[in-house]
Amino acid sequence: MNDTKLPPSQPLSYDDFLKVDIRVGRIIAVKEFAEARVPAYKLTIDFGPELGHKDSSAQLTKNYSKTDLVDKLVAAVVNFAPKKIAGFSSQVLVLGFPDVSSEPVLPTLSDSCPVGGRLY
């Protein structure tokens, strides 16, 4: 997982929260990301007709195989600026929580959540 230490939570206004666009996506492709400094996968995620397919780099190799991830629903921030990681443009930030070993675990989403649905 990211080794950056996060500062303590700061108060956030509801208007600030609304600026973060978090959507449901379905992983449609997973590739090894050998060039990454920290083991990671390259993901292609379908966010539905409004946003289409987006790419992301995700450090999920400790808790998930490639086959575990294909067709899995994920939550992702879709309105951050793309980030270059080892020459790869990560367009969205897939959200996860640390397990007891500080490795990311994806939140569970119901199959009734439509692809492209926005958190509110």
Select from 3.20.20.70, 2.40.70.10, 2.40.50.140, 3.90.420.10 the CATH code of 23-105. Answer: 2.40.50.140
- Residues 101-119: pLDDT tens digits? 999 999 999 999 999 999 9
- Residues 28-83: pLDDT tens digits? 999 999 999 999 999 999 999 999 999 999 999 999 999 999 999 999 999 999 99
Amino acid making up residue 72: K
CA-based nearest residue to 2, from 89, 87, 83, 116: 83
- The pTM of the full predicted model, rounded to 2 decimals, is 0.91
Pairing of strands 73-77, 93-94: antiparallel
Q: Where are the domains of the chain?
A: 23-105
26: β partners: 46, 73
